[in-house]
Each structure stands twice: as C-alpha cells, then as structure tokens.
Chains A and B, each alone.
Chain A
Amino acid sequence: MTNKLVIENLKHRWVRTLLSAAAVGVQVTMILTLVGISFGMLDDLGRRSRGAGADILIRAPGSSIISLSTAPMPEKILDFLRTIPNVAIATATTVQPMGGTNTVTGIDLDAFSRMSGGFRYVKGGAFQKPDDILIDEYWSRQYGLKVGSVMKFWNREWNVCGIVEPGKLSRVFLPIRLAQELTGNTGKITSIFLKLQDPSQTAATIAAIKQQLTDYQVFSIDEYVSLLSVDNVQGLKWFIYVVIGVAVIVGFLVVFLSMYTAVLERTREIGILKSLGATPGFIVGILLRETVILALTGSVVGIALSFATRWAIMNLVPGSLTQMIVPNWWPIAAGISLIGSLAGALYPGWKAARQDAIEALAYE
C-alpha cells in the first residue's frame, strides 16, 4: 500500500521525478567517468609501458612515477648499463611536452624496434627525412592526421611519415637525437629501458645496477606498472575526492529541492494521512522511499551514461583520454548518491512529520 502511494506520487509529478533522477544520474556519471578515466589512463599507460618490451625501467633520482616534465639523466649511463651482465638491449627515450599536457617521445628507432618487436605500420613507414614523425592510430583519429599530414610543435612543421598500431610506449615519436638537439638537451634522456637475455634473472640484474646507480629508480616493468595507481599519482586521489564531494552536494541539493517542493505541494495530503492516523514515521517513510527510488533510478541512469561518456571519449579524443568501465565502483557511486539523496530528504521529511494536521487540512 505504501509502495503504491510512493509510486503514484512519483508518477504524479513525473517531470520532477525524471529531472531529479537525471540529476542523480549526472552525479553518478561524474564519479564513474572521473574514476574510469583515472583508472583507464593509468591502465593504458601500464599497457603501453609493457608494450615497449623491456624488462627493466630506469628513471632519474627523485622523478615521480608519472612526470610530464623531463628529469634528465646523462646519456652516458647507457654505456655503463651495456656492460652489466644479462643486459641484451639498453635504449633511452626522451619525453618532452609539445604544448598542453601532450608529450612527444624521442626514441632510437632501431634499438626500440628490436626491444619491442617493432612497430606495426598501419600506413606509411619509418623515419626518412629529418622532419618525420610517427603517430599512433588514436592520435591520427583524434586529430584527423594521415600520412603526409603536417603537425606543428616546437615552432616547426612536422611531416607524419607513418601511422602505427597503438600500445607501444607513446602516441607520438620522433628520433631521439632530433628531440635532444631541438630542445637543448643534447646528451640528456628521460627514461632507460633494458631488455635482458634472461628475464628470470631480473631481480639479480636490478640489484647489480643499483650497486652502481644508487640514487636512480630501477624498476622491473611489473613493479613499475603496479606503481601506476591512483594513490601514487600526486593529487589525483584528492582530485577524485573533490569531484565526488561536488557531485554529492549537487545530488543533495537537487533531492532537497525536489522533496521540499513535494512536501509543500502535498501539505493537504499529509494532513489527510495524519487524520487517518498515520504516524510521523509513516509520513517520513514515504518520502524516504521516494528518495531511495530516485537515487537508485538515478544510479542506473548514471551507470548507463558512463558508457555514453566512454563512447564519446573513444570517438572524440582517443589520443588524449582513456576511460575504463569500472563495475566495482558502481555500488560505491550508487551508495554515495544514496547517502547524499537521503541527506537531502532529511529536512523536508522533518518538516512533513512536524506539519500541523489542522493547518494542513485547511491548506488550499
């Protein structure tokens, strides 16, 4: 019986119901998309790091796991590393900003190809001329670039000479020498990748390297990938918390307003229920049930919308963003929106429970 009243109430003001549920949905999508992008970007970075085919990764002392700025190491280290037993290939990369948060990776194409098994060219081929760059398919799709297209950065025009399958380290590549010269970083590198003759001896090799390069960060690729978590990206966790907080406040306000207007317009009905002997708890219960239905409907809408945002990202900006669908966050996001919604229903519920039945019945 109560449920009937709850459903009829929601149906009676269906526009308000839909808008409220949609607002809760947006709140849930905000959370799921942000979390999905965070996990997706890190996961994608991990995949691409593995895609380089290296067993060991070395980064400069004090550099963060994911740094957009270069923290250069001297290139001479490579010579030393090649003397370490079990090291088959040692090759370096530079990572430099090309404007915004996008980066260009400088590689030694020969060594990188041997290490990673080589690029698969969807179109075009390797560097030929001094202004040639390689891009991956996502980049090509996002910016509409084809072989022969021109890209501009560092005050120069670059010629796209080849489009490669994504998944190997980066999305935009150029020869490392050129990258070093043009940015005034001759002899300096960002990361070093090692391929081992016997990968089962990774730990021993790392130990040997660390004896000499004490301050450097030397990771097995597995270890490096495992470090690519939300906790290890500076500020990301707090950024997520802030967005969740904002989402909760928005959901709270919408449900507050929705339930508040519902209580006002139902003044007389609440009086009727009281005249029939309904307790304050009964009346609050009806509002809370409506709120739970709004929050749960909104959560379903929000989950559906997160698929839509992923689709949009994949089709519009695949080179810049990757969003994962995060089912383990569905109950969390739903729970967060439920708590925010119930909090929003508290004051209206209290107001309804306290309403004077006589005044309510006299209400026009």
Chain B
Amino acid sequence: MNNGKDHLIAVTGLKKIYRMGDVEVAALRGVDLNIERGEFVAIAGPSGSGKSTLFYILGGLASATAGKVLIDGKDLAGMSDSERTRVRRELVGFVFQKYNLLPTLSALDNIGMAQFIAGKPAGTEGWFRQALDLLGVGHRLQHKPRSLSGGEQQRVAIARAIVNQPALLLADEPTGNLDTENSEIVLKLLRDLNQKTGQTILMITHNPEAAAYAHRTIHMRDGRILESGA
C-alpha cells in the first residue's frame, strides 16, 4: 500500500459531519482516495453524495471531521484556519460552476488579485502568457465579467486558478452552466492544460461525456467512493 509519498493526494478514512444545531448531516462517511501527480480525474455521483464536500476539504475550505488528508505531503486534517488559508493560497486552485469572478474587477485584475493574495508579483510571466493564449482569453482581459460570455468567464476563472501554479486544480462542475459548445471548449482546455503543463486536475461532473475527457472517473454515493474506473 502506498503511504502517500508517490501520490499528490492520499486520503484515508475521511469523514465529514455537518452540524446545524442539533441536526447532523454525514456528508462523507469514510473516503479513501489516491491521486497521482499529473492525473486528470473526474468525480461523478448523484446530488448530495458529498462531491463538493470532498473538494472543500481537499482545497482547505472546510475542515475534516476525521481521517487523513495528505496533499503534496502536507496533512490537511488537523490544520488550523490560518494553515488552511495557506493551502488555498499556495497548493490549490478552484474553478466553480458559477465562475465566481469578482464582478467589480476586470478579467486581468481578477487574475492579478489571485497573484496578489498569494504574495506573487502581478504580471504575466512567459508560461502564463502561453496559458492565456491557450485559454483564448488574452484579448478580453480588460473587460469586466459582466461583459464576458459564460464560456469566457469560465476560461478567465481557470486562468485565475492556475496563475499561481498550484499543485492541484479543483473544478466543481465547471461546465454546469455552459452550453455544449462552450462546455467542449472548456473541457478541451482542461485536457490541454493537463497534457501540456502536467497540471493535476480533479473535476466534478454529472455528465458522462465530460467525464470522458478525464483519465478515469471516480463514482461517489452517500458519502463513499464506489469504484474507480480506469
């Protein structure tokens, strides 16, 4: 059995219980998961099966109730709030279904803000310039999100997520709000990104066609992982 050294992500016995007053919701009931560096993995499963919750924990947005979560050799379980803030800043990049760009800032400034928060000098280094060209949004950077199409916004969001070269890119239904054409563009982008830069990507999706872009698909149900396909 691997001890996590060879894996970018090594999760064992992960549990998450949400408490709302007296009510407890067990969102994750013991998840084991290994992801190798450079993998592009899709996660599928019915609504409420705990996919987003798993992402929030992997991305340091939520704390685990029990279990072990190693990312890049760091154990996220038992981290303090400020340590998890550092994980978000340095280790992961998020892409959401609803794009989640800052509406008052231009596309470029959205990306710059991610760099600023990570303490990196704003600007577009050589490789990132290439990534922007790859994403096909280089010419729309001065616009505010409002005047960009959904597909463009999502591409900017991807650019923002990778600008600090995170070890892990987490995309939660990135095509959920997009039409077929734009979905295809975004999915191809993610695949290119994975192939050309070796970016490790985890992507939640309900859509089998979208999942087909990944190397393999993990299925979740009731807070557990069912099987992992090749």
For the residues of A in contact with B, the DSSP-based class is: helix
Distance between Cα atoms of A256 and B188 in the complex (Å):
47
Interfacial chain B residues near A156, Cβ < 8 Å? none
**B30-38, B55-63, B130-138: which one contacts chain A?**
B55-63
Taking CB atoms and an 8 Å cut-off, the chain B residues in 115-147 that contact chain A are: 116-118, 122
Q: B64 to chain A: closest CB distance in Å?
A: 13
Distance between Cα atoms of A268 and B114 in the complex (Å):
16
Residues B61 and A358 in contact, CB atoms below 8 Å apart: yes
Residues A279 and B100 in contact, CB atoms below 8 Å apart: no
Answer whether residue A276 sits at the interface, using C-beta atoms and an 8 A cutoff: yes
Residues A276 and B56 in contact, CB atoms below 8 Å apart: no
Contacts known (A1-B116, A1-B122, A357-B61); A275 close to B100, Cβ less than 8 A: yes
Residues A277 and B117 in contact, CB atoms below 8 Å apart: yes
Q: A80 to chain B: closest CB distance in Å?
A: 80
Interfacial chain A residues near B109, Cβ < 8 Å? 1, 4-5
Distance between Cα atoms of A279 and B119 in the complex (Å):
12
Distance between Cα atoms of A259 and B101 in the complex (Å):
21
Residues A12 and B113 in contact, CB atoms below 8 Å apart: no
Q: B133 to chain A: closest CB distance in Å?
A: 23
Number of interface residues, chain A, beta carbon within 8 A: 23
Residues A269 and B102 in contact, CB atoms below 8 Å apart: yes
Residues A275 and B112 in contact, CB atoms below 8 Å apart: no
Report how many A-B pairs have Cβ atoms within 8 Å.
Answer: 66
Q: B101 to chain A: closest CB distance in Å?
A: 8
Distance between Cα atoms of A361 and B97 in the complex (Å):
10
The residue of chain A having its C-beta at the shortest distance from the C-beta of B91 within the complex is: A277
Contact with B along A1-19 (1 / 0, CB 8 A): 1101100110110000000
Interfacial chain B residues near A271, Cβ < 8 Å? 100
Contacts known (A276-B117, A277-B118, A279-B82); A5 close to B88, Cβ less than 8 A: no
Interfacial chain A residues near B112, Cβ < 8 Å? 1
Answer whether residue B229 sits at the interface, using C-beta atoms and an 8 A cutoff: no
Residues B94 and A275 in contact, CB atoms below 8 Å apart: yes
Q: A220 to chain B: closest CB distance in Å?
A: 65
Answer whether residue A278 sits at the interface, using C-beta atoms and an 8 A cutoff: yes
Interfacial chain B residues near A11, Cβ < 8 Å? 104
Taking CB atoms and an 8 Å cut-off, the chain B residues in 59-101 that contact chain A are: 59, 61-62, 82, 85-90, 94, 96, 100-101
Residues B88 and A272 in contact, CB atoms below 8 Å apart: no
- What are 7 A-B residue pairs whose CB atoms fall within 8 Å in the complex? A1-B122, A12-B103, A12-B104, A271-B100, A276-B89, A277-B86, A361-B100
List chain B positions with a Cβ less than 8 A from chain A. Answer: 56, 59, 61-62, 82, 85-90, 94, 96, 100-105, 109, 112-114, 116-118, 122, 160
Given A271-B100, A274-B61, A358-B61, 16 further pairs, Cβ under 8 A: A1-B112, A1-B113, A1-B116, A4-B109, A5-B105, A11-B104, A269-B103, A269-B104, A276-B118, A277-B86, A277-B89, A277-B90, A277-B117, A277-B118, A278-B117, A282-B117
